A and B are shown apart, each in its own frame.
Chain A
Amino acid sequence: MAIEALTLKAPLHPLDKYLRLTRIPTLWCPGCGLGVLLGCLLRAINRRVEEEVLKRDNLVFVTGIGCSARTTFYVDFDGAHTLHGRAIAFASGAKLANPDLELIVIGGDGDIAAIGGNHLIHAARKNMDMFVIMNTNFIYAMTGGQLAPTTPLKVITTTTPYGNPERPLDVIKLLSVFEINYLARGSTTHPHILENYFYKALGLKGFRFVEVVSTCPEIFGRHMGIRDAIQLYNELKKRIIFKPKPKPEESMISWEKGIIIGEFMINNYESFIELIKKTTYGIEN
């Protein structure tokens, strides 16, 4: 039981086989929730690949613009780093052109729910076959800290210097009106739970959505007066309320009252691809 110091050849970390190692370390800040999110996602993918539910070469990561969107830099899969807010549209086209592909869209709360909001709504409405992961850090981090649709009331950001006058958006509640197959919220403070949500979603068809509440110490933490990664992590963890199967009406994402994580919807509705096959090509399942 002694500390050894060695130099070893890659791959070392169990997830190294899924990473573009020449681009590691990531550009994400120390303590950024995105690295935790990516670790959970890759572990979930690994489980599904080993079970032969998914084929690694069929997976395509599609991202828009922002810190979350840089994920495509680091993963050794087919990937597309596209335009701000348009990842869902790009992914829809790819899936419809080749239904064998498995699309994973990763974006921030601004990319997916603000500029990409229209595409989000219609992809969910159609139960379009894709897995969308939204990283909620409550701010536009990459561009320096502007208001996001999820930023809490009264918070000071670079575009709300007198305090945020806007009510924030609960994307879970928004998407709950649609007939989608998976709707969950997780947190990077609870990586085991998050990995399981990713694992579940990867085994379903249709539209699957996981909101990941995440720490952004440098930008959001700074706006809240909590710049230390550990402090922000603890503050976020304090507010997490775990409910295994909450109803969408119970969803809450508030820095004052609490953040509920759990699986809000798990269904087996017909997916968009299945409906197209049925209507356009007369192929029944």
Chain B
Amino acid sequence: MKRVFIRGNVAIAEASLVAGLKFYAGYPITPTSDIMEYLHLKLPRYGGLAVQFEDEIASINAIIGASWAGAKSMTATSGPGFSLMLEGLSLAHITETPIVVVYVMRTGPATGVPTRSGQADILQARFGAHGDYITPIYAPSSVQEAFDLTIKAFNTAEKLRTPVILLSDAVIAHLWENMIFRDRDEVEIIERKRPNTDPSNYLPYKPEDDGVAPMAEFGKGYHILVESLTHDERGYYVPTTEVQRRMIERITKKILLHIDYVYEQKTYLTDDADYIIVSYGSSSRTAKSVVNDLRARGVKIGLLDIKTLWPLNEYAIKKVCESCTRIFVLENNIGKFVWDIQRIVRDIDVIPVSIIDLDLPDPDEALKVIEKWL
């Protein structure tokens, strides 16, 4: 354990090395390229390999292939690249492949402002790929969280045999902060379950009691089938309603069964709060500043800082908010996460505080909006 002073993207890269990353495939894109460059240099020293491919579509497909060859794998991108990766993400879901996709949001749509931030893509991260599935999404608001949540992303991917998104933004990417660096033996590292039966009894998509099927890898005599069509437990294409339902239930249930592991939120001064600001990512930093300013004025206000943007533990969110008179949702987009909070808390007033900013929302601007509603 040691204290280091680094920037967010480097924290993510270092965390992936601690978690056991062995294969990285990527494509240059601002503001994420430095993760790829860092790993190109460092990953071989850990016995792994980073390769730049011809586009993001090749990158996401390559890391799925690498995961089936037994390697923990990752890619990192931003809005335009993630849009290209959607079909690949869909493939990772139906084949139940553990991968980590680091998505550093930037200003959009289209090319937008490559070097600056935004939070417009949270629903794309959640639902952008076609089909029914649940992608765990972790959103750091600090360099320490970027490190910790990247390790958690790998653990979630391996534990639940699923793709996971680490949803950062351009602010956190190049923000320099102190953080505590923990190495392999100081944190929990989870490895995927491997089959404990011989090849003739092994079914690649048959879940055990925890909802997750053990995952064999290429080259070990299991003759596995990685199948992009709707398939049964053997991986054979069976186009029937019954098998489709079973498959969708399998891939969604395994996430929900472990929601207590996956879902994380942080609360700040919420115990006696009349008002709560809900926020996430770099906008939480703005929200915290607003909370401090208003508390200094005697307003009983708190912050609910969401770390897992999907799936949501609605009970946990409701519990924090239930004794408030009004809730604010502060985000750097036209108002997207606010819909979840409105849906979850229902009978409490929810005010969207949508502040579009090329950096994180300006605390003074946010304060001006919020104080009108106190």
Contact = CB atoms under 8 A, between A and B. Distances in A.
A76 interface: yes
Residue of B61, B64, B222, B237 with most partner-chain A CB within 10 A = B61
A89 B57 CA distance: 8
B190 interface: no
A200 B31 CA distance: 46
Interface residues of A, number: 36
A89 B218 contact: no
Contacts of B228: 65, 81-83
A143 B195 CA distance: 37
Residue of A83, A121, A122, A281 with most partner-chain B CB within 10 A = A83
Nearest to B222: A78
B70 A122 contact: no
Contacts of A7: none
Given A83-B91, A93-B65, A78 B58 contact: no
Contacts of B62: 89-90, 92-93, 96
Contacts of A76: 223
B53 A97 contact: no
A73 interface: yes
| Dominant secondary structure of chain B at its interface with chain A | mixed
Number of chain B interface residues as a range: 35 or more
Interface in A45-97: 57-58, 60, 62, 65, 72-73, 76-83, 86, 89-97
Contacts of B88: 83, 86
A23 interface: yes
A79 B71 contact: no
B70 A78 contact: no
B65 A97 contact: yes
Given A73-B237, A90-B61, A118-B55, A97 B71 contact: yes
A78 B25 CA distance: 22
A98 B57 contact: no
A249 B218 CA distance: 39
Contacts of A96: 23, 25, 49, 51, 62, 66
19 contacts: A65-B228, A78-B223, A80-B65, A82-B226, A82-B228, A86-B57, A86-B87, A86-B88, A90-B65, A93-B62, A93-B63, A94-B218, A97-B66, A97-B73, A98-B70, A98-B71, A101-B219, A118-B58, A280-B44
Given A57-B221, A81-B226, A98-B217, 8 more contacts: A79-B226, A89-B65, A93-B23, A93-B73, A95-B69, A98-B71, A122-B58, A280-B49
